[in-house]
Structure 1
């Protein structure tokens, strides 16, 4: 049987429960990070999603800020 090259499954945006699981935090804490610590989100009506790239960038910036002593 011939295999066809298929586009790899890419999940560009994460739901709040997926972000919570990735960070090993609760859903409420993720909403707190969005509101108080500017975790970047994309809104589609009432749906809130977090870009994987934005999440990684935000974590790196947060770590650099914390390592800098501020």
Structure 2
């Protein structure tokens, strides 16, 4: 089963970027995040759209 969401740290590693950059992309709407308890997670579909240049 493929992952549906990634943590901030996992997303940063996947995209070879820093956490600050990930939070910046969340703030400007390029990545779609949601809270699950205290964790902030990024939807896998959102990461795929960004990599495909559709974000």
> What TM-score results when the alignment is normalised by the length of structure 2?
0.76
Larger RCO, structure (CA 8 Å, separation 6 or more) = 2
| Aligned residues: CA RMSD | 1.6
SS in 2 for 1:57: helix
Q: Aligned pair 1:34/2:26, yes or no?
A: yes
Where does structure 1 lack aligned partners over 5 or more consecutive residues?
Answer: 1-8, 63-70
Residue 20 (structure 1) aligned to one of 12, 17, 21: 12
| Aligned-partner SS, 1:25 | coil
Segments of structure 2 that go 5 or more residues without pairing to the other structure are: none
Query: How many equivalent pairs are there?
Result: 53
**How far does the alpha carbon of each residue in 1:22-68 deviate from its partner, in whole angstroms, 9 at most, with x for none?**
000001110011112x1101212331101212210233213xxxxxx
